[in-house]
Structure 1
């Protein structure tokens, strides 16, 4: 899968600082692997490439040096487009306008692909869709992570506890609470679940978000006292102090009890889900 170059977001992923090492090692592995193929092109370390011979390169690494702006390797294909490995130093805009079949690693360590056919209408530009880019929604056994009516289910509140009414436990309007989900996920992107409000004393609304400045949007709204209302919740996870997977909750206009049920987490890989939680 590829993604439009306009969606490229290097902040979502860590830098791959060993790209050059990986590239040279891969090139060497390709020469060694070719030794098992009939009539493969081979060369002993230091020798010229000789067609139709076999050779075991052992632990030797093959490095291809290219002039700036020139593809380090071009593999022609009589049945289709050529495969070209291009240098990253001139990735933009040259590769965006290059021949179909071009691959290059950009300055964030991501693999750029010029894919499609020889037709201009069929060619596309994008980045290889890997776990560095992708997120997946991992369903969990539904679990209640917050219920302000229950002191035990208020234990995940890691900031803003003073914004709960000490007598009733209701969330007072105007002050946020921060709820940590670190026991369920490591460095997650977002959560899905349900948020419920109950016991409000008048009209108001609730906002749930990851962290930082409070957004102007509302997550659930109510128009009078004594209601029980629920809404689907899908929000990014933020960070607060030592906690890396938090949601922030704030009521406006009216005190209310808040219940949050967790049903799914968005991660880059299932291993980010804490063992036994999915």
Structure 2
């Protein structure tokens, strides 16, 4: 069973949104700027005092703070919560894509937009979004760990599907894939890095390692003779099968073979997802 796409962790979905925003920007006239304001209860004309403890509506005017020296122009402190909140806006794009360098805003997806570049030339500005654990990934190294060795009954303990299809020697049989769970190492992992090794094969063959779902038309390892030990770097997506949320699937073609998998790194949204063995 293929993993269901997580609504708030799908980087491909975010990429589509970014491209759509950039495309829409080409239809806006040069110099068009949208003022994003939060309606409030206190009305003030330009030059009036700021009313603390209430919402203030400045209209189309821009409020500027400046200082000639000191560690910061504005210092905010909140001992019981966040010192600053930028209100998400549904009307941010495409106008903000042509904003001044240094602009920071939050879009309706809750992502932090940043207009970066050299302040002396707006044409050199670039649009970017702050990478967070909400929709970015990070690679977390782990102590090299053998998670599968079909020659060893104890190292077959992570097989959660297909263990009964191994031959009498414990080898993976062509056309009968096994599913190996990494749930004891990671919660809802995205991908793994490591090494995969084949040994004890009975003839030439091919090995494919993937996450879950339909088998891809690709190979991870190929061998032409028996009696060889062959290894390859493994970087593959993790899938989900039933209650198991971080699995790899392994299948052989042409000849049975023993399979060894060593784990060295996990791709996750946040390092706290890596739990160890």
1:194 equivalent in structure 2: 195
Closer, same or farther: CA 92–11 of 1 in aligned 2, 3 Å: closer
For 2:196 and 2:157, locate their aligned partners in 1 and report how far apart those are by CA, in whole Å. 17
For 2:128 and 2:103, locate their aligned partners in 1 and report how far apart those are by CA, in whole Å. 11
The alignment yields a C-alpha RMSD, in angstroms, of: 3.4
1:213 equivalent in structure 2: 214
Provide Cα deviations, 1:242-266, integer angstroms capped at 9, x if missing partner: 1111111111111101011111112
Name which structure has the greater RCO, CA cutoff 8 Å, separation 6+: 2
Provide Cα deviations, 1:157-192, integer angstroms capped at 9, x if missing partner: 111224311x11110111211100010111112111
SS at match of 2:154: helix
**Structure 1 residue 133 displacement after superposition:** 3.2
1:143 equivalent in structure 2: 145
Q: Which runs of 5+ in 2 are unaligned?
A: 1-9, 16-37, 69-85
For 2:254 and 2:12, locate their aligned partners in 1 and report how far apart those are by CA, in whole Å. 37
Closer, same or farther: CA 183–105 of 1 in aligned 2, 3 Å: same
For 1:267 and 1:90, locate their aligned partners in 2 and report how far apart those are by CA, in whole Å. 31
Q: Which runs of 5+ in 1 are unaligned?
A: 1-6, 13-26, 28-44, 80-84
For 1:257 and 1:203, locate their aligned partners in 2 and report how far apart those are by CA, in whole Å. 13
Correspondence 1:110 to 2:111: yes
SS at match of 2:155: helix
SS at match of 1:173: coil
- Normalised TM-score (structure 2): 0.70
For 1:266 and 1:214, locate their aligned partners in 2 and report how far apart those are by CA, in whole Å. 21
- Normalised TM-score (structure 1): 0.69
In the comparison of the two structures, how many residue pairs are matched?
A: 226
SS at match of 2:97: helix
For 1:74 and 1:51, locate their aligned partners in 2 and report how far apart those are by CA, in whole Å. 9
| Contact 1:86–1:102 under 8 Å retained in 2 | no
| Contact 1:10–1:108 under 8 Å retained in 2 | no
Correspondence 1:185 to 2:178: no
| Contact 1:177–1:248 under 8 Å retained in 2 | yes
**Structure 1 residue 135 displacement after superposition:** 2.2
**Structure 1 residue 127 displacement after superposition:** 0.8
1:9 corresponds, among 9, 12, 15, to: 12
1:157 equivalent in structure 2: 159
